[in-house]
């Protein structure tokens, strides 16, 4: 049986549009003379025309519009500088995660020719010629990668690790020396997850609880040393709890208390209070679901014995009483 592996992408931040304001023509602003002079009356050689208030207001209105246009251009330029700065930073990181940045750009250029991709053209003004050429190659190879990845057929007989190795091979073929720059952090986290899974499935049954937890702590520390942000305290704690699944409840509770102190320090008491509340809610919900099933079975037997209106009324009353019993608040 075959399945296909797909990859989702993210979208690139859109650039704000610029708006133009066109002042009215001078002919549209002429004012009629309210008191025409008779033809026989002598006209002064020179006259002083009062300033047109509409024209003054129009001239003043240009200022905020021009400022808005300048502000829009400045924001766009700043966004481009930030994008290029992020690209250069990610390009230098080892292991890297440049793939996330590249995917956002690819999402806007995927259905058009690279020469017609406006986001890429905008970036070109901030990149050196060598950087632009490399980015164009990356986009081209990334397009091929997405196409081949969607066509990559994997046997379900393969393990998750074996299937992931096939993906890594494809990446290496297309991106060569830049593979770790693009996917290094993902590869590192995947290796950690596979090691944890192997510990849970294969090693844990042959180790004491203390040995299991120490081995997991070593794996977690290795990942943190390489890339601190890839695993949170809560994720690490939840993985440790999975190694306690075969213990009696009392022993599991003792070890869980130690794990809370290890992973949460001064917040251990707050975590314990939250877990206690969560457990109480789960117990309450399970009891409600059990009694609800019994109630529905009981009224199912009564449905054919009573008038529909009477049955509906009694069922609604019983259901309301059950809900108030378990959820009085």
Q: What is residue 23's predicted lDDT score, i.e. its pLDDT?
A: 35
Q: What is residue 5's predicted lDDT score, i.e. its pLDDT?
A: 38
Looking at the predicted structure, is the pLDDT value of residue 271 above 90? Answer: yes
Q: What is residue 25's predicted lDDT score, i.e. its pLDDT?
A: 39
Residue 242 to residue 209: CA distance in whole angstroms:
11
Q: What is residue 14's predicted lDDT score, i.e. its pLDDT?
A: 33
Confidence of residue 129 (pLDDT cuts 50, 70, 90): confident
Residue with tokens 């549009």: 17
* C-alpha pair distances (Å), 174 with each of 7, 57, 130, 143, 184: 16, 62, 19, 10, 15
Dihedral angle of Cα 260, 263, 267, 270, to the nearest 10 degrees = -40
In sequence order, the β-bridge partners of residue 153 are: 4
Question: Which residue, among 183, 178, 143, has the nearest Cα to 167 in the 3D structure?
Answer: 183
The reported pTM is 0.64
Looking at the predicted structure, is the pLDDT value of residue 286 above 70? Answer: yes
In the chain, the DSSP E strands lie at 2-4, 153-155
Instruction: Give 27's Cβ-side CA count (13 Å radius).
Output: 0
Contact 204, 214 (CB under 8 A): no
Burial group, residue 231, by CB count within 10 angstroms (0-12, 13-18, 19+): middle
């Amino acid at each position: 049986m075959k399945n296909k592996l797909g990859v989702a992408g993210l979208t690139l931040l859109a650039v704000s549009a610029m708006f133009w304001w066109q002042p009215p023509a001078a002919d549209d602003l002429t004012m009629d003379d309210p008191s025409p002079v008779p033809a026989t009356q002598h006209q002064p050689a020179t006259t002083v025309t009062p300033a047109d208030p509409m024209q003054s207001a129009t001239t003043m209105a240009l200022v905020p519009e021009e400022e808005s246009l300048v502000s829009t251009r400045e924001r766009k330029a700043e966004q481009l500088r930030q994008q290029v700065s992020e690209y250069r930073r990610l390009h230098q990181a080892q292991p890297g995660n440049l793939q996330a940045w590249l995917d956002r750009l690819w999402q806007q250029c995927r259905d058009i020719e690279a020469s017609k991709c406006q986001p890429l053209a905008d970036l070109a003004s901030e990149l050196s010629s060598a950087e632009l050429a490399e980015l164009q190659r990356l986009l081209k190879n990334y397009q091929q990668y997405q196409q081949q990845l969607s066509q990559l057929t994997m046997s379900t007989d393969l393990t998750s690790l074996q299937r992931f190795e096939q993906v890594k091979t494809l990446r290496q073929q297309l991106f060569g020396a830049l593979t770790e720059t693009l996917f290094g952090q993902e590869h590192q986290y995947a290796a950690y997850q596979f090691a944890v899974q192997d510990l849970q499935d294969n090693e844990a049954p042959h180790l004491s609880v203390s040995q299991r937890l120490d081995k997991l702590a070593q794996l977690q520390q290795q990942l943190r040393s390489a890339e601190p942000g890839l695993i949170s305290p809560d994720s690490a704690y939840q993985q440790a709890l999975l190694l306690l699944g075969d213990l009696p409840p009392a022993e599991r509770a003792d070890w869980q208390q130690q794990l809370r102190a290890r992973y949460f320090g001064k917040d251990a008491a707050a975590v314990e209070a939250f877990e206690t509340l969560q457990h109480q809610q789960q117990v309450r919900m399970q009891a409600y679901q059990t009694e609800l099933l019994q109630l529905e079975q009981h009224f199912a037997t009564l449905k054919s014995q009573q008038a529909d209106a009477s049955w509906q009324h009694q069922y609604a009353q019983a259901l309301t009483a059950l809900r108030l019993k378990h959820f009085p608040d």
